[in-house]
Amino acid sequence: PAMRLDAVTILPEYFEPLRLSLIGRAVESGLLELHVHDLREYTHDRHRTVDDTPYGGGAGMVMKPEPWGEALDALLADLGSREDRPVLVVPTPSGRPFTQAEAADLASHPSMAFACGRYEGIDRRVLDWAGGLFDVRELSLGDYVLNGGEVAALAMIEAVVRLVPGVIGNPDSLVEESYSDADDPLLEYPVYTKPASWRGLEVPPVLLSGDHGRVGAWRAERSLEITRARRPDLLGRPAAE
């Protein structure tokens, strides 16, 4: 059965890249079902207003609850009985970290919906209300701030969807990569292809040796070295500031 993806956004065009390449092909072939919803379709005023000033004061605008309520009502009706409490991902810098483990969990669900807000946020009551009907997951891509949830949603969608069986041509390429094994969280070793000599730079000779044991050992060493230098936190050491 196809995995269903929904996104609610004021910028539907941001999701057009999902029609390209590997994911595009999965959508074409029916492996993925993609539904992008314009939040403004759920407004009723002439200006199609989706935001307002924050109670309590402060800079920026907050997304109004009413259009979100109607959009999520419609989404629930549309999802029908696929799942008891469908997953609703809310990308936000104040979410818990999005990880490979989270991606793998999301890939095991029949549907996944994204509520994309601007970073000042959606009126809190929307997510409190939605929590009764959806499995709401507020997730952050990392410790930096984007202008809205759309780009974060794209990244999360790509990370999840490539784990769905059939989306990636060669499933072997999924097993060796960084973060894929929670017990062995090392960064990837460097890779090389032909020619063996390029601009005076040589491919490490061990890779030309045909000795799979030595190749494996060399790659494990490089992985450890790179992880130590770039992500000591993955090895249980404090991260360099």
Q: Footprint of ligand ADE on this chain (CB under 6 A)?
A: 91-93, 119, 140-142, 144-146, 149, 152
Q: Tell whether residue 132 is among the known ligand binding residues.
A: no
Q: Tell whether residue 141 is among the known ligand binding residues.
A: yes
Q: Tell whether residue 144 is among the known ligand binding residues.
A: yes
Nearer to ligand ADE, 86 or 149 (CB): 149
User: Among candidates 151, 152, 53, 147, which has minimal Cα distance to 95?
Assistant: 152
Q: Tell whether residue 42 is among the known ligand binding residues.
A: no
Which is it for strands 3-9 and 111-115: parallel, antiparallel or unpaired? Answer: parallel
Three-state DSSP class for residue 161? helix
Nearer to ligand ADE, 119 or 129 (CB): 119
Nearer to ligand ADE, 26 or 141 (CB): 141
Nearest-approach distance from CB 200 to ligand ADE, in angstroms: 41
Q: Tell whether residue 143 is among the known ligand binding residues.
A: yes
Total Cβ atoms within 10 A of residue 183? 4
Nearest-approach distance from CB 57 to ligand ADE, in angstroms: 22
Q: Are 65 and 34 in contact (CB under 8 A)?
A: no
How distant, in Å, are the alpha carbons of 5, 130, 192 from that of 111? 6, 16, 38
Nearer to ligand ADE, 60 or 110 (CB): 60
Helix axes 149-161, 100-107, angle to 10 degrees: 70
Nearest-approach distance from CB 196 to ligand ADE, in angstroms: 41
Nearest-approach distance from CB 141 to ligand ADE, in angstroms: 4
Nearer to ligand ADE, 145 or 240 (CB): 145
| Residues, the chain | 241
User: Among candidates 5, 10, 43, 47, which has minimal Cα distance to 148?
Assistant: 10
Annotated binding site: 117, 141-146
Write out the binding residues for S-adenosyl-L-methionine: 117, 141-146
